[in-house]
Amino acid sequence: MEKHNYAFFGKEQAFIIVTKNYQDHVHLNFIKKVNEKWQQLKEGIHIELNLEELCKITKYLESENANKGINIIHQFSKENDIKNFKFQFNYDRNNKDKKILFIKAKLDNKPDYYKFSKPFKSEGERRLLMKIFQHLENEKISNYQKFTSQ
């Protein structure tokens, strides 16, 4: 596939994964609904994951103990890019069978944290996110030789 574009929309926030198969990185974009309209991608929060960060998140999503969360210090941040972020699954207080993905991110140039939460409708939706990250990791690793020889 030339390009991947996966979106997980909630009522007020969205988490979008974008990459091209010849790139050695993956873009994570977080947008919000403002005045009943979705932000454009450029208005939201952006992380450009390198291969090591992608592998770390994939391993976390595969873990049976994914409640603890992982912190990632983003080494290659650009202006208006996220410096560090945390992925964590918690259980919904009102429904112990439902997991919620929390992503907490800190921008270089803003003191406040940006918080994104995505309640998953089912275990299947959480598994779909895990499978997407596994696929992207496998694709990026298989193409790694091409990236390093350029």
Per-chain mean pLDDT for the chain: 76
Q: Under a CB-based contact definition with an 8 Å cutoff, are residues 114 and 29 in contact?
A: no
| CATH number of the domain enclosing 110 | 2.30.31.10
Containing structural domain, residue 48: 3-149
142 or 77, higher pLDDT: 142
As for how many domains the chain has, the answer is 1
If you average pLDDT over residues 19-28, what whole number do you get?
A: 82
The pLDDT value given to residue 108: 60
* Gap between the Cα atoms of 28 and 35, Å rounded: 23
Q: Under a CB-based contact definition with an 8 Å cutoff, are residues 43 and 32 in contact?
A: no
Taking only the tens place, the pLDDT of each residue in 35-59 is 999 988 777 777 888 888 888 888 8
